[in-house]
Amino acid sequence: MSANESGREMPVSSGKEPTTMLPEPAADPQELERLQQALIDSEERAKGHWEQYLRAVAELDNVRKRAQRDIEAANRYGLEKFATELLPVKDSLELAVENAPSADARTVRQGLDATLQLLSRALERLGVKVIDPLGEPFDPARHEAMMAQDSATAEPNSVLKVIQPGYELNGRLLRPARVVVARAPG
């Protein structure tokens, strides 16, 4: 400590004087109450948002689990509709085989025609479409050329004859149509 002119001792400054915080003037009680209420409201909103988040995460997990179960069921039972549609065809063929020894050729032929119609309707209900491109331009994406044949009547590069029809399922090629393609006589 050092003495000043009046003889009073004063603290010696070390270059770093401690900073003291003066108390802020007391806030308006109404303002303080408003701020406390705003804090309470904010905490309630935050708690509500957290609960919404937890519910959303749980719902997302449930949707994921449900989708996984649906995929497993589709893999396990995906052919059910297909099999159900083909069972009448199998029944018809079994009946034909059982009755073939005692049936005449005309009756067997009628049974075969009926069975073929059953099969065609079943495939149609399953979404299988026949590709029968007779007279259409040759399309290598849907047709398989078995041979080319000279033709004076058909357009060159068109389907002159269908050897075996093709099939598609929901726009996807199952089997190309096997065809004879017309070419200009030369």
Place of tokens 């399922």: 169
In a domain, 153, yes or no: yes
In a domain, 170, yes or no: yes
In a domain, 164, yes or no: yes
Model confidence pTM above 0.75: no
Q: In what order do the strands lie in the sheet with 159-164?
A: 143-150, 177-183, 159-164
Total structural domains within the chain: 1
Please choose, from the candidates 128, 163, 124, the residue with its C-alpha nearest in 3D space to the C-alpha of residue 143.
Answer: 163
In a domain, 62, yes or no: no
Complete DSSP assignment for 63-131: HHHHHHHHHHHHHHHTTHHHHHHHHHHHHHHHHHHHHGGGS-HHHHHHHHHHHHHHHHHHHHHTTEEEE
Print the domain residue range for 160.
129-186
Which CATH number covers residue 186? Answer: 2.30.22.10
In a domain, 180, yes or no: yes
In a domain, 6, yes or no: no
Across 90-115, average pLDDT: 90
pLDDT tens-digit series, residues 116-174: 999 999 999 999 999 999 999 999 999 999 999 999 999 999 999 999 999 999 999 99
In a domain, 137, yes or no: yes
pLDDT band for position 24 (50/70/90)?
Answer: low
In a domain, 174, yes or no: yes
Beta bridge partners of 164: 178
